[in-house]
A and B are shown apart, each in its own frame.
Chain A
Amino acid sequence: MGSIGSLYRSSVGKKSIMAASGLLLSLFLLTHLLGNSVSFLGRDAFNAYAEKLHSLGGLVYVFEIGLLTLFLIHIITGIILYVENLQARPARYSVNTAEGGRSWGSRTMPYTGVIIIVFIIVHLLNFHFTDKSVPVADLVRGLLSRPPLALFYIVSLLAVALHLSHGAWSLFQSIGFNHDKYNGVLLKGALAFSILVGTVFILIPVLALVSRSFLL
């Protein structure tokens, strides 16, 4: 049996898979974030950037398949873990009090995860399975200037940020990295990363809503 298979049969192995896929997804988010930031440079730059991406052709395709696989691995493993964890305590406590270890991020991982799934579907429908002839800038502006959708994006992206506020630290712990010297940096780094991701992404729907000149 291959080592991935045996990894998958163990709790620690599954967590390492969550961590690895989470890390790669985070890296993807980072590139996505950098790409999206081009929008702040204006309509033309953004459109050009999108053109450039599309022109990569087959490479994009490979990348998309990879990303999808990553998501599926992360999601399926996450669901398995969640269900197993529920089963591990069939009778609940009458009084639930946190000991002080949990954070908002950590306690909501599965829920923010579900929000992200819904978000991704909507997001793909909005931007992927759509009329590719419309320039990206128009697409973004057209969609995100509609308050309900913009709000949905903002809430979802807050969920992403919350997910990462725990996840970006947790993944290191899962693969075995925890060192007194670097723990402070890691914890703060994870928080900073989640705030950065949240802020930059959310800026787009916010600007689309309130700015008269954004992407015009």
Chain B
Amino acid sequence: MSDIHLTLKIWRQEGPDAPGRLQTYASGPISTDMSFLEMLDVLNERLTGEGEEPVAFDHDCREGICGMCGAVVNGHPHGPEKETTLCQLHMRHFKDGDTLVIEPFRARAFRIEKDLVVDRSGLDKMITAGGFVSVNTGGAPDANAIPIPQKNAEEAMDAAACIGCGACVAACPNASAMLFVAAKVSHLSLLPQGHPERARRALDMVREMDELGFGNCSNERECEAACPKGISIRNIARLNREFLKAAILSDED
């Protein structure tokens, strides 16, 4: 265990319409055993003591599963470690004297609410558009009635592991949400339960994504590299396939 000192340049913005700016803070001594969010906690405790407003940032589980946390650290959504959410990132990955620029996820579809907190309700809206199986409670057949090849179940799980953090959007040069949408469309199209609605789902979710003002996918692969859950762009290819099949061949519009 040892302490490091960092220079923090943190995006401060009072509200959605207020102008924002990078503000510089000295971190004070930071234990390398701390998580990134604990480092922000320490800063916030100090700011509070000094009567200043602490930095607002979203977080909840601090275990890398709820998808609530996230900020861009030196240009990297969730920081520089691969497959690691911001809450799971530990300070031992930084060196004494480092400067960290901490910014919110940026996209037209992600309004900044305050400091590092952004509005990601667009992700919910895309699920609302079609990211479900239309089955009411009750009346489901026995769970083992339809066997599902292990490989399909595993692949569906790979896609379903998405935590809805929005880092893919933040990392994409075009602020596209394709990886997120692709993860859901793939998850459900790989399982027989999702089949009846697969055409509708692909069309509706893509339409919603476009209407929300996310960008287009240029296959830059930045999302995959930034995704804390390692969601593969294979899912994007699958989404493209599902969408094109639906748009060209199905009766749905």
Contacts and interface: CB of A to CB of B under 8 A. Distances in A.
B206 A10 contact: yes
B-side interface mostly: mixed
B245 to A, nearest CB: 8
Residues of A in contact with B, size category:
35 or more
Interface stretch (A80-88, A134-142, A157-165): A80-88
B72 interface: yes
Contacts of B123: none
Interface string B227-250: 000000110111111111001100
Interface stretch (B62-70, B84-92, B100-108, B128-136): B100-108
Interface in A164-192: 166, 169-170, 172-180
B243 A10 contact: yes
Nearest to A110: B218
Contact of B219 (A87, A89, A106): A106
A106 B221 contact: yes
Interface of B: 9, 11, 22, 72, 74-77, 101, 103, 106-109, 171, 173-176, 178, 206-207, 209-210, 213-226, 233-234, 236-244, 247-248, 253
Interface of A: 1, 3, 6-7, 9-16, 81, 84-85, 87-102, 106-107, 109, 166, 169-170, 172-180
14 contacts: A3-B247, A9-B210, A10-B206, A15-B216, A85-B176, A85-B218, A88-B215, A93-B103, A93-B106, A98-B222, A106-B218, A107-B220, A173-B236, A176-B240
